[in-house]
Chains A and B, each alone.
Chain A
Amino acid sequence: MELISPTEFAKDTVLAVQDYALLAGRAVVNLFRKPRYFADTIQQADLIGFGSLPIIVLTGLSIGAELALNSANTLQRFGSLSLIGQLVSVGMVRELGPIITGLMVAGRNASGMASELGSMVVTEQIDAMRALGTDPMKKLVTPRVISTTFMLFFLTIISDLLGLFGGAVVSVLLFGLDWHQYWTTAYQALVFQDVFMGLLKPLFFGFIIATVGCFYGMTARGGTQGVGRATTQAVVASSVLILIVDLFITKFLMAVFSYQ
Chain B
Amino acid sequence: MTAPPTAIEQRASSVPDAAGNVVVFENVSIGFEDKTVLDRISFRLSKGETKAIFGVAGSGKSTILKLALGLLKPDDGHIYVLGDDVTQMSEDALFELRRKIGMVFQESALFDSLTVRENVAFRLLEEGHVAEDEIEKPVREALSFVELENTVDKFPSELSGGMRRRVAIARAIITHPEILLYDSPTGGLDPVTSTTIIQLIVKQRDVYKTSSLLVTHRLQDAFVMATHYFDRKANEMRPLPPGARSEVPMAFLILRDGKVIFDGDVHELAQSKDEYIREYIS
Contact = CB atoms under 8 A, between A and B. Distances in A.
A binds B: yes
A35 interface: yes
A131 B69 contact: yes
B40 interface: no
Nearest to B100: A133
A124 B109 contact: yes
A130 B126 contact: no
Given A123-B107, A124-B109, A128-B111, A133 B126 contact: yes
A124 B107 contact: yes
Nearest to A26: B91
A125 B109 contact: yes
A8 to B, nearest CB: 12
B232 interface: no
A127 interface: yes
Contact of A128 (B91, B95, B109, B126): B109
Contacts of A35: 126, 128
A135 interface: yes
A129 B128 CA distance: 15
Interface string B114-139: 00000000110011100000000000
Interface string B81-97: 00000000001100110
Contacts of A3: none
B105 A133 contact: no
What interface size band does chain B fall in?
20 to 34
B91 A124 contact: no
B98 A125 contact: no
A213 B205 CA distance: 43
A133 B71 CA distance: 11
A134 interface: yes
B5 to A, nearest CB: 28
Contacts of B95: 130, 133-135
Contacts of A120: 111
Contact of A132 (B106, B123, B128): B123
A46 to B, nearest CB: 14
B111 A131 contact: no
A128 B91 CA distance: 15
Contact of A123 (B99, B103, B109): B109
Interface string A137-179: 0010000000000000000000000000000000000000000
Interface in B47-75: 66, 69, 71
Contacts of B96: 133
17 contacts: A35-B128, A123-B107, A123-B109, A123-B112, A124-B109, A127-B105, A128-B103, A128-B111, A130-B69, A131-B69, A131-B71, A132-B171, A133-B98, A133-B123, A135-B91, A135-B92, A135-B95
Given A124-B109, A125-B109, A131-B101, 6 more contacts: A35-B126, A123-B109, A125-B112, A127-B109, A128-B111, A132-B123
Interface of A: 35, 120, 123-125, 127-135, 139
